[in-house]
Amino acid sequence: MNLPETEQKITAVSGLYDMFMKGDMSKISSSVSPNYEQFPPQAPGVEPGLDNFMQAFMEGFGSSFSEIQGETTHLLVDGDYVFARCKYNMVHSGEAFGLAATGRRISFNAFDLHRIEEGLIVQTWHLEDFMSIYNQIKEATG
């Protein structure tokens, strides 16, 4: 793989994380394919596509947590795939896992594998540490 192709893939993935870590939506359409698909799906029954992904994110995770901040700690490129490990901090500001908002600051790790085609993310496999998030919320509720 040549350096410009690697940089193009890193730029696409960085644009997606700018949305989560900075609230910056300006690069999302130049980072993610209109036919974007994620695994597991953001919510049951959500059809593939960037608009559906954004709506499901805002209605789900985005309605339960605010002040999301994060950093990408590892980024590895292999062919058409980019692996990312990220650390996040956020505030539990809405109901999550059936538990009312606690206002508690939560931190967790996430691991994503992205497949890139023509400079855009077409698929992502997510693995977030939801058990850690749940345990931190549960600890706050006593």
pLDDT along the chain (142 residues), means of 10: 85 85 76 86 71 69 86 94 95 94 95 95 92 94 80
Q: Residue 73: its pLDDT value, please?
A: 94
Q: How many residues are there in the chain?
A: 142
Fold that domain 3-141 belongs to in CATH: Nuclear Transport Factor 2; Chain: A, (3.10.450)
Question: Which one, of 56, 140, 40, 39, lies nearest residue 92 by Cα?
Answer: 140
Task: Copy the structure tokens of residue 22.
Answer: 């900075």
Residue type, 34: P
CA triple 40-42-44, angle to 5 deg? 85
- Enter the tokens of residue 16: 């997606």
Mean model confidence pLDDT for the chain: 87
